[in-house]
Structure 1
Amino acid sequence: MQAAGVIQGDRWRIGLITDSLVRLEWSDDGVFEDRQTQVVINRDFGAAPAYRTWERDGLLVIDTDAITLTYDRKPFSKEGLSIIVKGVRDSQHNTWHYGDNPAGNLKGTARTLDEADGRIPLDDGVISRDGWAVLDDSTSNLIVQTDEANGKPNPFGTWVTPRNTSNGTTIDLYFFGYGRRYTDAVRDFYRLTGPQPLLPRFALGNWWSRYYPYTQDEYLKLMDRFKAEGIPFTTSVIDMDWHLVDDVDPKYGSGWTGYTWNGKLFPDHVRFLEDLHERGLKATLNVHPRDGIRAFEERYPQVAEAVGVDPSTGENIEFDPSDPRFMAAYLDMHHGLESEGVDFWWLDWQQGGVTRQPGLDPLWGLNHMHYLDSGRDGRWPMTFSRYAGPGSHRYPVGFSGDTIVTWESLAFQPEFTATASNIGYGWWSHDIGGHMFGYRDDELEARWYQLGVFSPINRLHSSNSPFAGKEPWNFPPDVRRSMTASLRLRHALIPYLHSMNYRAHEQGRPIVEPMYWLAPDNPAAYAYPDTYWFGSELVAAPIVRPMDRAAQRGSADLWLPQGEWFDLFDGRRYTVAHDDGRRLAVWRALDRIPVFAKAGAIVPLQQIESGAGVNAIGNPSALELLVFPGADGAFMIREDNGAFGSASADTRVSFAWNGERTDGGDTSALTIHAVEGDAAAVPAQRDWRVTFRGVAPLDAGSVSVLASGAGDGRTAMAMPCTLEYDEDTLSLTVEVSGIPTGADLRIEAAGLAIADDPAVRDAYDLILHAQMRYWTKDVAYREIRRDGVRALAGLRSLDRKAENPHDYWVSEMPEGVIGALEEILTR
């Protein structure tokens, strides 16, 4: 704790870390703790904030630009310790008294969704509509440098040890008084507890996972079929049947825990892992460590000797994460398996939170030790496990648990994912499609796949029921097409996702953020928890309820901030003129969900290769940029050479909407700047496909492409390009090949304009497929063509008409069809 920001007495200490973040300590013995804890690893943010202190009626008052603290210098009490948070205009609860329950807390996340069928309670986050939140670190263990732990040699050099509470009460609180500055609060939470680590690029693609006793040949044939169908995957998750399960002698207990490959299913597991790698897949194995290492395991003798047990006795080596000698032997056993080709571990801990060391959660211990160990020898550290409390974001990726296959489960996951960012937990991986029980609903599966595309991690999963397979070819043609398109889109998004990966690591901005982070004073931003920012450019609103039968579309209720927005897929523009934003219901067929790009957004995509290259995750030689009109924009494409800790290769893209062309005149221009940083990490040349979406067509003479050396003063050279326009998606695409990544590429489009809204055409398509009376369709479409948006009022009461004998066949318009038409006609 920095001395300049500390005010203390004999048994209390107040540390001003920032003007909004305050550490509050009470110690009966007057001894205070400055070492790292399981949660907090840094309390020194640099210079202390400006503050003033004075006395008032015997009370100490500490005042900063953000808070006013009042304290009676006695043991902490509701009457004697309070903090007022400034700048929260519309809350009556912006004053915290010690012990207050945080009624306005916007919540964080939970340990697991195991067996959840819909909403579950969530732990608190570090932000609140009332302006304050409290993080209690009083009981977490300390991280210390030590050569001995719990009376045993410690080969790790650091360990966790309980706080000394033998001399009375110890209180250690962190008060977050950031008002509605939510992004600041979470950013400083990361500074306090550690940043989100950078994930390897492969983690951002599709993961295949299933609790199922595959044979070696079955699994490889499945991966080959995915490739043949053009469905990309980057990660193979092998559930517990990789090890001995049913063949374990009952005297050892169950086969839930295991570390010996099942030779019946995997006769040559080393070759199996090599085959996965040759197919472009990383491999992770499931482990349930609770039952320790038993005598039937192949590696039992080495572990027994390492912990001082005579292997001939067959004594069970108890799982004990509080014993550094056991943990060293345990991890060394995993090293042997890794040497055969295992890339990282799925730590499937479900057995409670107690160890022999007070306060040490075995799940936290596993996450901490496995993550640190996974980064040995320069490897890219990564684990896959459940959430173990605040600070768990340091050990990604998160496994949210075994959910029930229902619409209720799906409906909770968007909110659950977004809210987790309020406690900094940005890399959740859900069982996409649901894990177990529930029911088969083909539409539900398609919508879950779509959520997976716009989730931090996209991992399909299901149970071992022979009817639960999530392969797209197990579903009807329309659902199969939707599923396949979702998986291909996720893979295409990897350049965008990896850039957001860097943003999360360096800027403290999780890839999924609730809408209220950027609109904290707008009540509507809180009212739609299923709507969220997905990176810097996109807003997603997954469809989480069954489609309307008449409209043949599903709907999502959402809120958009003020500005111009474009549908990511078809370029339709949504204008939000009011300062308070806009609430609306949007309707989509089974092929896609509502995702909106802000005006000026730039979204990089990779083109999916065919044949053997389907699963490719390297920095591609061909990139597509989706560019949306209406405002200037900028984006930084972040890449690396795949080695942990390597420098990034950064390609800056800028978009000038209706800027000045080099020869004068009104134009728009997109510039792809020369790569900066580690240029060797990217191809020497690239093919670029730039798609301006949501724009009117242009003739070839209005578009020019210029390339020039990076900063060397050479004259820009005109480059040949191809031009095409797609009326369905309102997209103008410019393609240019063989551009050196060390050069600047500029695409100028004179007269580029936002497309007219094809509302009547879209209304026709909706009515064409609607399940309703034909004569009602005719009447409705006639009135829409004649009156446009003014027709909506009449459409709600069509059955009142009696103009001719055919009106007998005119019935009231289905409500879902009217709702979908209202979206189209009022965009």
Structure 2
Amino acid sequence: MVLKPTLSASRAGLTGHLRQILTGAAALLMLPVAPHAHAQMQQSANGVQVHAGSDTAIIELAGRNLVHVHVLPGGQESPRALVLDPNPTVPDLKSIGGSIQLADATHAVLDAPAVRVRVDTSHGAAIDFCDPENHCLRLDDVFSAATRDELPLELDHAQSLYGMRGLELLDSGRDLTRNQGAIVAAGVQGDGGAPFFFTNHLGVLVDASSGTFKATGPSVRFSGSGRKDLEFYVAFGPPMTVVSAMVKLSGLPPMPPKWTLGFINSQWGTDEADLKKIVAEYRQKQIPLDGFILDFDWKAWGEDNYGEWRWNSTTGAGAAGPDKFPDGASGAFALDLAKQGVKLSGILKPRILLSPEGAPTARTEAAAYADAHNLWFPDEAQQDDYFTKRMARNLNFDLAETRRWFWEHLKPAFQAGMAGWWNDEADSSSVSSASNLQFLNMARMLYDGQRSVADQRVWSLNRTYFLGSNRYGYAVWSGDIDSGFPSMAYQRRRMLAAMDLGASHWSMDTGGFHGHPTPENYARWMEFAAWVPIDRVHGDFGEKRQPWMYGPVAEAAATQAIKTRYALLPYLYSYEHGDHLTGIGVVRPMFWMFPDDEEASRLDSQWMFGDAFLVSPVVTPGVTKQRVYLPAGMWHDFSSGQQIEGNRWYDAPVNAQTWGDTPVFVRDGSIIASQEPQQYAGERPVDEVTLDVFPAARNAEFTYYDDDGVSYRYEAGGYFEQGISVQQNKFGTQLHFATASGTLKPALTHYVVRVHQHARKVTLDGRTLATAPAATTQGDNTWRAGTDKYGDVTVFRVPAGTKLDVTIH
């Protein structure tokens, strides 16, 4: 019999939903006790409950492809870990197209479009999860799992497992798979962890802030969640669908400040005068720059009275390098740079000094407060601060009082112009929950604090990652890596492993932190960095990573790479909005997009950059060709325009003298938005965006997006968004522009559309457009034919924001 639910799903979050179920606030159907398991099964709003004595298991549909399971020994619920979004949206059964069928006292079936769940309580409480293609997962006894603090799952066959853990600082040879399982920990130096695994067809997320996956063949077991009750989700679909579901459950990233998509220079060992000279040279050389990140230098580190929080604009006792930024505290320095389009970020440490200089038995004002309120990180001794050679101790950012107090003293630095933050050295080799969440909680402190006083977007760069961080404006970098080609090559794999954890905002110390790169190493690394989520350079104390420091050939190659990125800012920012909506960023491992291509699935040396670009950076010195795998379809060399048929390996030529080319390929069935490069994001209003369209038989979609790039007004509709699609069929190439949404009135007025194919006629909403001579300025109602590096091209200009249908015959 099919029974319609009598409860409406709570939209106040899963905790409220659970309370409603357990209190029996609505009438539920109670079926007889199962003969062997002594269990009772009853229908709930989105699924069923199973009761065995005082224990309860809730199995419910949470989406079209998603199942939620919560087992409560003794009916007791423990607090959730920080992994899951504290304010989830719980869909009702009708909205996900679900149904619930209770066949008898011991069997139930939950159906949604992309998942079927069978619950069998005839012997224990077994759950089978399957998708329409019969990819399945089984849990033999949900109550036994909760009692043993172990989640034993059986896949339908042994297969590659992904997620769980990132890659460590030094290359141990591990690839992207985690087929033996992994310890779930944030780790150190650019590592990361997430309590979920996924295959090419499904994924499982456990609510836990630590734990261990162990896998043998088709068996996958998770233990050590730290919760008395057991809560997990199962999602079905290809990799991108599953990763998106996992990130949505943990909290989607807010839109980042637009400037963080530009080029960022980090440096340790600078002062106000030096930094002004560096910025002036960027501008004089016309090398785009959006941000400058400051190391220890910006702080009055070592001064008492909260010097660790303050601009280094004083000469107090104990300061490690006094008065390096005399105009920092007043805000004049940040204001001067902002006028030149450069935003400042500053480093933060989780530790504070314990004693004033020369008084080891005394307490600094900050340390005395931490003593009085017990704000110290648990089970950790004091340590030597290598910068001042005095004793220091880490704070515990899991505590609400630590976060409140720390922000209160940091707020003046924000008000003096700090636009971003760099959280460093909060990582630990411990696998405890506290260690895993320390960076997350530092970012949480910044996000909650800054949003409480300003409408300026929050952004922090952190040295490890744990799932759940994304919702706090979080980015991660790969730690203090070495210079040199081998280290650079390894960063490809580390980045892709981070993507498998949901860490879509990834960065690295381009050029390497330790050591000094050769000019060729620097040039090739800068080209690599132009095709990652955050483009940033950094080095050890005294190292400078500006392009002109490495000779004219490297400078030219680096400058061109940066300008290419700035030309693609409309494409990048549109994909950032996609990340905000789905949790899928611009960088995608090959197997995410080509899960059925065995050759692509093994690759960790190249990736997709959005839907359009395939990127394979040069990571070997002196080479004249780069071996690249192109999946099925037609591809276009982004540098030369050459067409290459895919489903094969291709030796891409590269220049060993100029270092000025990166193997990048455009996929047929793509739409690429670009603009004229600027010296920084927002230097000039953009009234015209170019759309390069590479049509194919498959439908290609691109959503152009823009907002003010600074505030959270997009949350209330302050944005401009327009869907664009293209497909070839028997009528020709058909381009569709949807009506724009959002309340923002952008500077954008027109798209210049370049469709890379031959045309004999172009129609706009059924009207035939006139052809325009190549030498004339093109209006809205004309088109022209021409050629470019890709071959034939059809060019026309259309108003932005308007619903339009264009056919190229």
TM over 0.5: yes
Say which SS state the counterpart of residue 431 (structure 1) adopts. coil
Q: Does 1:473 align with 2:548?
A: yes
1:137 corresponds, among 193, 204, 207, to: 207
Cα shift at 1:241: 1.7
Q: Which amino acid aligns with 2:712?
A: F
Tell me, yes or no, if the aligned pair for 1:227 and 1:614 is still in contact at 8 Å: no
Q: Which amino acid aligns with 1:233?
A: L
1:208 corresponds, among 262, 265, 282, to: 265
| Higher helix proportion | 1
Q: Which residue of structure 2 lines up, in the alignment, with residue 627 of structure 1?
A: 693
Q: Does 1:392 align with 2:469?
A: yes
Q: 1:339 to 1:679 in 2, by over 3 A?
A: closer
Q: Give the TM-score of the pair, scaled to structure 2.
A: 0.71
String of CA shifts for 1:595-650, please: whole Å, max 9, x gaps.
222224221112124xxx55545651243322324456543311112331332112
String of CA shifts for 1:702-746, please: whole Å, max 9, x gaps.
8899999xxxxxxxx95598979566554748586xx86566899
1:174 corresponds, among 203, 208, 232, to: 232
Q: Give the TM-score of the pair, scaled to structure 1.
A: 0.70
Say which SS state the counterpart of residue 75 (structure 2) adopts. coil
String of CA shifts for 1:752-787, please: whole Å, max 9, x gaps.
xxxxxxxxxxxxxxxxxxxxxxxxxxxxxxxxxxxx
Q: 1:73, 1:332 → 2: CA distance?
A: 58
Alignment of 1:470-549 (within 5 A): 470-548=545-623
Q: 2:599, 2:348 → 1: CA distance?
A: 44
Cα shift at 1:526: 0.9
Q: 2:487, 2:248 → 1: CA distance?
A: 33
Q: 1:740, 1:86 → 2: CA distance?
A: 43
Q: Which residue of structure 2 lines up, in the alignment, with residue 569 of structure 1?
A: 639
Tell me, yes or no, if the aligned pair for 1:88 and 1:131 is still in contact at 8 Å: no
Q: Which residue of structure 2 lines up, in the alignment, with residue 422 of structure 1?
A: 500
Tell me, yes or no, if the aligned pair for 1:307 and 1:325 is still in contact at 8 Å: no
Q: Which amino acid aligns with 1:575?
A: E
Say which SS state the counterpart of residue 556 (structure 1) adopts. strand
Tell me, yes or no, if the aligned pair for 1:258 and 1:293 is still in contact at 8 Å: no
Tell me, yes or no, if the aligned pair for 2:735 and 2:805 is still in contact at 8 Å: yes
Q: Which residue of structure 1 lines up, in the alignment, with residue 248 of structure 2?
A: 191
Q: Does 1:380 align with 2:433?
A: no
Tell me, yes or no, if the aligned pair for 2:727 and 2:735 is still in contact at 8 Å: yes
Q: 1:671 to 1:569 in 2, by over 3 A?
A: farther
Tell me, yes or no, if the aligned pair for 2:262 and 2:566 is still in contact at 8 Å: yes
Say which SS state the counterpart of residue 17 (structure 1) adopts. strand
Per mean C-alpha deviation after superposition, the further-off stretch among 365-374 and 105-114 is 105-114
Q: Which residue of structure 2 lines up, in the alignment, with residue 790 of structure 1?
A: none
Say which SS state the counterpart of residue 163 (structure 2) adopts. coil
Q: 1:25, 1:674 → 2: CA distance?
A: 42
Tell me, yes or no, if the aligned pair for 1:354 and 1:361 is still in contact at 8 Å: no
Say which SS state the counterpart of residue 689 (structure 2) adopts. strand
Cα shift at 1:315: 13
Tell me, yes or no, if the aligned pair for 2:165 and 2:501 is still in contact at 8 Å: no
Q: Which residue of structure 1 lines up, in the alignment, with residue 187 of structure 2?
A: none
Q: 1:704, 1:87 → 2: CA distance?
A: 42
Tell me, yes or no, if the aligned pair for 1:691 and 1:731 is still in contact at 8 Å: no
Q: Does 1:108 align with 2:163?
A: yes
Q: Which residue of structure 2 lines up, in the alignment, with residue 593 of structure 1?
A: 662
| Higher strand proportion | 2
1:45 corresponds, among 88, 91, 101, to: 91
Q: 1:604, 1:519 → 2: CA distance?
A: 23
Q: 1:641 to 1:616 in 2, by over 3 A?
A: closer
Q: Does 1:605 align with 2:674?
A: yes
Say which SS state the counterpart of residue 524 (structure 1) adopts. helix
1:442 corresponds, among 515, 519, 533, to: 519
Q: Which amino acid aligns with 1:14?
A: I
Q: 2:681, 2:203 → 1: CA distance?
A: 44
Q: Does 1:99 align with 2:152?
A: yes
Q: Does 1:8 align with 2:54?
A: no
Cα shift at 1:411: 2.2
Q: 1:627 to 1:23 in 2, by over 3 A?
A: closer
Q: 1:62 to 1:673 in 2, by over 3 A?
A: closer
Q: 1:139, 1:280 → 2: CA distance?
A: 40
Say which SS state the counterpart of residue 542 (structure 1) adopts. coil
Q: 2:231, 2:594 → 1: CA distance?
A: 28
Say which SS state the counterpart of residue 170 (structure 1) adopts. coil
Say which SS state the counterpart of residue 363 (structure 1) adopts. helix
Q: Which residue of structure 2 lines up, in the alignment, with residue 459 of structure 1?
A: 536
Tell me, yes or no, if the aligned pair for 1:320 and 1:356 is still in contact at 8 Å: no
Q: Which residue of structure 2 lines up, in the alignment, with residue 649 of structure 1?
A: 720
Tell me, yes or no, if the aligned pair for 1:112 and 1:387 is still in contact at 8 Å: no
Q: 1:603, 1:16 → 2: CA distance?
A: 41
Q: 1:459, 1:486 → 2: CA distance?
A: 12
Cα shift at 1:293: 7.6
Gaps of 5+ in 1: 142-162, 661-666, 709-716, 751-827
Say which SS state the counterpart of residue 574 (structure 1) adopts. strand
Per mean C-alpha deviation after superposition, the further-off stretch among 223-232 and 129-138 is 129-138
1:231 corresponds, among 287, 297, 304, to: 287
Q: 1:52, 1:617 → 2: CA distance?
A: 59
Per mean C-alpha deviation after superposition, the further-off stretch among 64-73 and 42-51 is 64-73
Q: 2:173, 2:225 → 1: CA distance?
A: 41
Q: 1:307, 1:747 → 2: CA distance?
A: 69
String of CA shifts for 1:669-698, please: whole Å, max 9, x gaps.
767777543352324x45x554445x57x9
2:347 corresponds, among 286, 293, 317, to: 286
Per mean C-alpha deviation after superposition, the further-off stretch among 5-14 and 16-25 is 16-25
Q: Which residue of structure 1 lines up, in the alignment, with residue 333 of structure 2?
A: 272
Tell me, yes or no, if the aligned pair for 2:259 and 2:681 is still in contact at 8 Å: no
1:677 corresponds, among 738, 742, 745, to: 742
Q: Which residue of structure 2 lines up, in the alignment, with residue 337 of structure 1?
A: 413
Cα shift at 1:272: 1.9
Say which SS state the counterpart of residue 277 (structure 2) adopts. helix
Q: Which amino acid aligns with 1:8?
A: V
Q: 2:681, 2:129 → 1: CA distance?
A: 54
Q: 1:670, 1:361 → 2: CA distance?
A: 47
Q: 1:720 to 1:574 in 2, by over 3 A?
A: same
Alignment of 1:294-333 (within 5 A): 319-333=395-409
String of CA shifts for 1:206-243, please: whole Å, max 9, x gaps.
11112x21121111111111112111111111112212
Gaps of 5+ in 2: 1-13, 18-43, 141-150, 176-181, 183-191, 212-223, 314-320, 358-363, 374-389, 768-777
Q: 2:225, 2:619 → 1: CA distance?
A: 49
Cα shift at 1:531: 2.8
Cα shift at 1:482: 1.4
Q: Which residue of structure 2 lines up, in the alignment, with residue 362 of structure 1?
A: 438
Cα shift at 1:443: 2.8
Q: Which residue of structure 1 lines up, in the alignment, with residue 40 of structure 2?
A: none
Q: Which amino acid aligns with 1:284?
A: S
Q: Rg larger in 1 or in 2?
A: 1
Q: 1:29, 1:406 → 2: CA distance?
A: 57
String of CA shifts for 1:24-48, please: whole Å, max 9, x gaps.
4444433124767443433723328
Q: 1:64 to 1:522 in 2, by over 3 A?
A: farther
Q: 1:355 to 1:508 in 2, by over 3 A?
A: closer
Identity %: 20
Q: 2:794, 2:441 → 1: CA distance?
A: 52
Say which SS state the counterpart of residue 702 (structure 2) adopts. strand
Q: 1:241, 1:727 → 2: CA distance?
A: 49
